[in-house]
């Protein structure tokens, strides 16, 4: 078990390099320069626009309206981005936000997100990933894991078939024991941040639950939760419902303060 101890020491050493705290107070490993992530976000967004056609007109205006309301509700200290929004003509129910302030929504999502509140739950979630620096954390964790695996393989002193088997076991253990659960933690955290953002922007947080019920109704084959990078739809609904008592007063306060979005499809 010497290689397991070496791997653990390597992982702990890497975690001491650059610790940060997420908006929910969770400790993070962030080893990448933020400006580098912002540049990568800009490059990815540009490439995405080259590969997929965009939708304009009323569809673009609708998504822009919801995004603008979310961005206006960002808490003090949030990154000062000039947020750019594009709607891509694609049938998949997908959306994303990238470091640097880029939001993309697929037209397929608008078939499932039936109103502005449901769309706001998705955009708030994606913006939450950016606020929590999840891309930085994900890349940093991947790098630290790769370093740990390399150190462990060298320390094991195995050769040939034994080395290949040990490497495969280490890789599988890292995938299911470290990387996938970490991603599920990101998704749950982004759900919470997004819920608070949409409430502060004046969107009804109940729309998040309605959205995931719509998602569940779509069906389709899904991997077991422990093998997935996302919590199950049922888990998300339960988690969101658990937060309603906390976020509904924020929504009511936003409404009373005049934050009453009226984004028309």
* Domain range annotation of the chain: 2-256
Considering the entire predicted model, what is its pTM?
0.77
pLDDT tens, the chain, 265 aa long? 333 333 343 444 444 445 677 777 777 677 777 888 889 889 999 999 999 999 999 999 999 999 999 999 999 989 899 999 999 999 999 999 999 999 999 999 999 999 999 999 999 999 999 998 888 888 777 766 665 555 555 555 545 555 555 555 545 554 545 445 557 788 889 999 999 999 999 999 999 999 999 988 876 656 554 445 566 778 889 999 999 999 999 999 999 999 999 999 8
From 51, 126, 164, 210, the catalytic residue? 126
Using alpha carbons, list the distances in angstroms from residue 63 to 56, 124, 207. Answer: 10, 12, 16
Q: What per-residue confidence (pLDDT) applies to 21?
A: 79
Going by C-alpha positions, the residue among 24, 108, 96 that lies closest to residue 59 is 108
126 is catalytic: yes
């Amino acid at each position: 078990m010497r290689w397991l101890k070496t791997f653990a020491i390597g992982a702990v050493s890497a975690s001491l390099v650059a610790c940060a705290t997420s908006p929910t107070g969770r400790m993070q490993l962030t080893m990448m320069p933020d400006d580098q992530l912002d540049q990568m976000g800009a490059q990815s967004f540009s490439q995405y626009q080259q590969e997929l056609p965009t939708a304009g007109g009323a569809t673009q205006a609708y998504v822009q309206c919801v995004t603008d309301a979310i961005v206006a509700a960002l808490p003090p200290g949030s990154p000062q981005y000039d947020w750019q929004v594009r709607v891509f003509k694609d049938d998949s129910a997908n959306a994303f936000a990238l470091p640097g302030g880029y939001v993309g929504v697929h037209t397929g999502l608008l078939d499932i997100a039936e109103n502005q509140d449901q769309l706001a739950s998705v955009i708030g979630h994606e913006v939450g990933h950016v606020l929590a620096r999840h891309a930085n954390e994900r890349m940093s964790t991947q790098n630290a894991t790769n370093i740990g695996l390399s150190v462990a393989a060298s320390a094991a002193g195995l050769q040939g078939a034994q080395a290949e088997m040990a490497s495969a076991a280490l890789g599988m253990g890292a995938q299911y024991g470290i990387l996938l659960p970490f991603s599920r933690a990101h998704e749950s955290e982004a759900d919470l941040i997004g819920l608070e953002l949409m409430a502060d922007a004046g969107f009804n947080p109940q729309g998040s639950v309605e959205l995931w019920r719509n998602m569940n109704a779509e069906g389709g084959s899904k991997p077991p939760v422990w093998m997935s990078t996302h919590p199950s739809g049922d888990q998300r609904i339960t988690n969101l419902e658990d937060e309603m008592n906390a976020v509904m007063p924020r929504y009511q306060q936003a409404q009373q303060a005049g934050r009453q979005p009226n984004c028309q499809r």
